[in-house]
């Protein structure tokens, strides 16, 4: 905005100066004309004075008997006979009247001398006219001098203004050039981080050719950055982006191009790679660069980054590389984030599935298409059912059965998760009321997306829903995924405290699914620790590989059970599919399990054995 304003001001200034030049020049011309006319008047007066003096001299000589040659006075008489109005105008009105009279007298005398009229005595007129004309001549010369001085000043001012105009024109041209340079700079650099921008990255990608060697495009995106911006404010958001830019800058190799290409999106163009895998290695280095927290003026902040990699070749040009890197990056996020993924055709297929699901979500009719199933949570030693986890099912008219693992993350992105969650909670309350009426005392676990808890009155709404059905919050365990507890620390922790305060039980879901910040996680209040299926699988596989007893106690599970005990929380292990896993878990002190082995999700809960 600023350069435009100052450019306009400069233009106005230049115009004003140009007008001044013209006005001054006009004034100078007029003044010179006036001076010229005054000088001409003075000359006329002098001529008149000379003529009068000559006639007077001839008259005096005539007194001594020297008759003048008539031809000698012809010129003087001619002068005296002229119109003297301009000479007279130089005098006051009374002087002018007198002078006119005197001139006439002298003319009469002259005419008398050359015999063209009667002789006239003019001795008085003589002395008088000389005084009048002398004053008139001086006045005319003074006026001329004044006009010349005025013209001089006008010329000087015009010259100065002209010079200034020229200077301004040169300067505005220079600043135009500077502005162009600034615009050029602005359009190639991201002003927030000082990195290259999307345009520059595009140029670099377009410029890649055979001489660049093996090249790749890496797209990096912060996980959950919108939450940061919403909750900590844009200023903190900007600070984070600058810190991220700085840290990424330490990783890129000389010759690579690092750019900020969108809100929280960074791009990296790599050239001269030895092999395709090197691109993934660099991307992974970028991701793990944030294993260590960053420091802001407000304190420590944990950042997670997901990366997508596309390798360029004869078929994959700049446009395609951007699409592929984007798809791969979204795959990395879908897999839980904080990792880098290389593009593959399968990813594209799943992305088109994502697009289909997103489209189908738009037409979702919750009451017709959604239903709940219930999976028993059982005691590990005697398999007594203690509660059920409610899991949502979607039967889409266009896509058929869609897994919540596929549509919930998308619904979180589109915001549809609010509508889905509300339906789930209402349906769950209705079912509990029904079961109560049938004398079946069932407690339930329900999943809530962090997005559903973001609102200030989220807990209040939940409480009034449960109460309006005459139910006690104690019968509900709310499962929140551990990543939400870590990412969203501020608001989330408040909600968790509120939930527990209202009487709900709280479970940290997906424990051990890849988030390593145990300290931060355990800072949150909870009643149940739900160990993720992926951790159970990993541990089972490890023991198999090392020839361990698959039904024996597992040290890792034992220590997790120990952590839960310290917090006076229950521990539930998910995804138990075999009898060996169950035995091992029971032997490790994991008191509750959930899995296909002890009960699949079903439309109705199984008989509950109360504990
Ligand atoms: P989750 O909360 O971790 O739920 C457990 C998932 O593991 C369920 O998948 C369940 O069917 C599955 N599962 C249980 N036992 C076994 C087993 O032995 N082996 C295997 N392979 N899988 C087992 P489901 O129902 O597909 O749900 C997937 C995820 O979708 C859930 O993971 C949860 O995060 C989300 N979800 C489900 N229902 C809801 C809901 O009502 N609201 C919200 N916000 N999220 C939901
Ligand atoms: Ca769950
Ligand atoms: Ca889970």
Query: For the segment 55-70, what is each residue's pLDDT rounded down to a tens digit?
Result: 888 888 877 877 777 7
Task: Give kind and range of the element (H or E) at residue 266.
Answer: strand 265-273
Query: Among all ligands shown, which has an atom nearest to the Cα of 408?
Result: 1
* CA dist., res. 205 & res. 207, Å (int): 5
Q: Are 380 and 389 in contact (CB under 8 A)?
A: no
* CA dist., res. 30 & res. 311, Å (int): 79
pLDDT tier at 135 (50, 70, 90 boundaries)? confident
Residues with Cβ within 8 Å of 202's Cβ and at least 6 positions away in sequence, in order, are 318
The pLDDT value recorded for residue 377 is 98
Q: Are 582 and 593 in contact (CB under 8 A)?
A: yes
- 99 three-class SS: helix
Q: Is the pTM of this model over 0.75?
A: no
Which ranges constitute the DSSP H helices of 289-416? Answer: 318-334, 345-362, 366-369, 404-414
Q: Mean pLDDT over residues 127-132, rounded?
A: 80
The pLDDT value recorded for residue 542 is 86
Q: Are 583 and 382 in contact (CB under 8 A)?
A: no
Q: Structure tokens of 113? A: 């001398």
Q: What does pLDDT average to over the chain?
A: 89
Share of the chain above pLDDT 90, in %: 53
Task: Give kind and range of the element (H or E) at residue 223.
Answer: none
The pLDDT value recorded for residue 608 is 66
Q: Are 470 and 433 in contact (CB under 8 A)?
A: yes
Neighbour-count burial for 459-494, b at 16+ CB within 10 Å, e otherwise: beebbeebeeeebebebbbbbbbbbbbbbbbebbee
Which residues have C-beta atoms less than 6 Å from ligand 1? 375, 391-392, 403-405, 408, 421, 424, 447-449, 479, 509-510, 533, 574-577, 594-596, 601
Query: Among all ligands shown, which has an atom nearest to the Cα of 404?
Result: 1
Whether residue 452 is predicted with pLDDT greater than 50 in this model: the reply is: yes
* Residue identifier of the C-alpha nearest atom 38 of ligand 1: 391
Query: Among all ligands shown, which has an atom nearest to the Cα of 514?
Result: 3
Q: What are the backbone dihedrals phi and psi of residue 38, each rounded to the nearest 5 degrees, phi first?
A: -65, -40
Q: What are the backbone dihedrals phi and psi of residue 195, each rounded to the nearest 5 degrees, phi first?
A: -80, 170
**Structural domain boundaries in the chain:** 2-169, 198-343, 357-594
* CA dist., res. 99 & res. 133, Å (int): 8
Residues with CB under 5 A from ligand 3 (ion): 509-510
* CA dist., res. 252 & res. 254, Å (int): 7
* CA dist., res. 114 & res. 131, Å (int): 25
The pLDDT value recorded for residue 74 is 84
Q: Are 505 and 478 in contact (CB under 8 A)?
A: yes
* Residue identifier of the C-alpha nearest atom 22 of ligand 1: 575
Q: Domain 357-594 belongs to what topology? A: TIM Barrel (3.20.20)
Query: For the segment 192-251, what is each residue's pLDDT rounded down to a tens digit?
Result: 999 999 999 999 999 998 888 999 999 999 988 887 787 888 899 999 999 999 999 999
d(CA 429, ligand 3 centre) in Å: 22
* Residue identifier of the C-alpha nearest atom 45 of ligand 1: 447
d(CA 400, ligand 3 centre) in Å: 24
Q: Structure tokens of 487? A: 């990412």
Looking up tokens 């001489």, which residue turns up? 211
Q: Structure tokens of 583? A: 């035995």
Query: For the segment 408-419, what is each residue's pLDDT rounded down to a tens digit?
Result: 999 998 999 999
Helix axes 2-63, 70-81, angle to 10 degrees: 140
Query: For the segment 525-583, what is each residue's pLDDT rounded down to a tens digit?
Result: 899 999 999 999 989 888 888 888 889 999 999 999 999 998 899 999 999 999 999 99
Q: What is the DSSP letter of 473?
A: G
d(CA 344, ligand 2 centre) in Å: 30
Q: Mean pLDDT over residues 428-434, rounded?
A: 97
Q: Structure tokens of 354? A: 């994502």
Which of 183, 198, 338 shows the shortest CA–CA distance to 260? 198
**610 CB-contact burial (10 Å; exposed 0-12 / middle 13-18 / buried 19+):** exposed
Which CATH number is 198-343 given? 3.30.70.270
Task: Give kind and range of the element (H or E) at residue 19.
Answer: helix 2-63
Range with the poorest average pLDDT among 185-189, 274-278, 366-370, 470-474: 185-189
d(CA 486, ligand 3 centre) in Å: 16
């Amino acid at each position: 905005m600023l350069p435009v304003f100052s450019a306009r001001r400069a233009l106005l200034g230049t115009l004003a100066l140009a007008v001044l030049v013209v006005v001054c020049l006009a004034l100078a011309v007029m003044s010179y004309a006036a001076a010229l006319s005054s000088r001409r008047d003075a000359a006329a007066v002098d001529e008149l004075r000379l003529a009068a003096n000559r006639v007077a001299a001839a008259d005096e000589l005539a007194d001594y008997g020297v008759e003048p040659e008539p031809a000698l006075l012809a010129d003087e008489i001619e002068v005296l006979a002229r119109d003297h109005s301009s000479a007279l105008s130089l005098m006051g009105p009374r002087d002018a009247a007198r002078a006119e009279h005197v001139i006439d007298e002298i003319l009469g005398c002259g005419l008398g001398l050359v015999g063209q009229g009667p002789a006239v005595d003019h001795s008085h007129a003589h002395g008088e006219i000389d005084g009048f004309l002398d004053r008139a001549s001086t006045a005319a010369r003074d006026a001329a001098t004044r006009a010349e001085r005025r013209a001089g000043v006008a010329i000087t001012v015009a010259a100065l203004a002209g010079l200034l105009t020229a200077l301004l024109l040169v300067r505005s041209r220079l600043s135009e050039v500077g502005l162009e340079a600034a615009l050029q700079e602005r359009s190639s650099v991201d002003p927030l981080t000082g990195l290259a921008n999307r345009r520059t990255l595009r140029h670099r990608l377009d410029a890649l050719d055979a001489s660049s060697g093996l090249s790749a495009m890496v797209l990096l995106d912060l996980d959950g950055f919108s939450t940061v911006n919403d909750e900590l404010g844009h200023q903190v958001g900007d600070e984070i982006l600058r810190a991220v830019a700085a840290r990424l800058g330490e990783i890129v190799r000389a010759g690579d191009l690092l750019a900020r290409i969108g809100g929280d999106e960074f791009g990296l163009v790599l050239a001269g790679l030895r092999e395709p895998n090197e691109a993934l290695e660099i991307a992974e280095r970028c991701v793990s660069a944030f294993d260590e927290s960053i420091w802001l003026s407000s304190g420590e902040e944990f950042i997670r980054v997901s990366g997508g990699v596309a390798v360029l070749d004869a078929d994959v040009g700049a446009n395609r590389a951007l699409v592929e890197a984007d798809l791969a990056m979204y795959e990395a996020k879908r897999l839980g984030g904080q990792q880098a993924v290389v593009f593959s055709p399968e990813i594209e297929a799943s992305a088109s599935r994502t697009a289909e699901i997103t489209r189908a979500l738009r037409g979702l009719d919750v009451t017709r298409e959604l239903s709940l199933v219930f999976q028993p949570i059982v005691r590990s030693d005697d398999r007594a059912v203690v509660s059920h986890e409610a899991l949502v099912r979607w039967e889409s008219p266009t896509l058929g059965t869609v897994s919540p693992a596929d549509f919930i993350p998308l619904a979180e992105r589109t915001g549809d998760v609010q509508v889905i969650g509300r339906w789930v909670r209402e349906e769950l309350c209705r079912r509990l009321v029904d079961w109560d009426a049938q004398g079946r005392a069932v407690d339930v676990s329900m999943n809530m997306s962090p997005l559903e808890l973001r609102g200030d009155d989220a807990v209040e709404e939940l409480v009034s829903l449960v109460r309006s059905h005459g139910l006690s919050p104690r019968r509900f365990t709310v499962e929140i995924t551990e990543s939400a507890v870590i990412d969203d620390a501020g608001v989330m922790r408040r909600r968790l405290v509120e939930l527990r305060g209202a009487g709900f039980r709280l479970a940290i879901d997906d424990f051990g699914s890849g988030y390593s910040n145990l300290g931060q996680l355990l800072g949150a209040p909870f009643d149940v620790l739900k160990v993720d299926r992926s951790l159970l699988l990993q541990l089972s596989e490890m023991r198999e590989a090392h020839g361990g007893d698959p039904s024996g106690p597992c040290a890792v599970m034992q220590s997790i059970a120990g952590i839960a005990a310290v917090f006076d929380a229950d521990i539930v292990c998910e995804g138990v599919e075999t009898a060996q896993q169950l035995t091992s878990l029971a032997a490790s002190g994991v008191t509750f399990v959930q899995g296909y082995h002890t009960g699949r999700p079903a439309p109705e809960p199984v008989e509950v054995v109360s504990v």
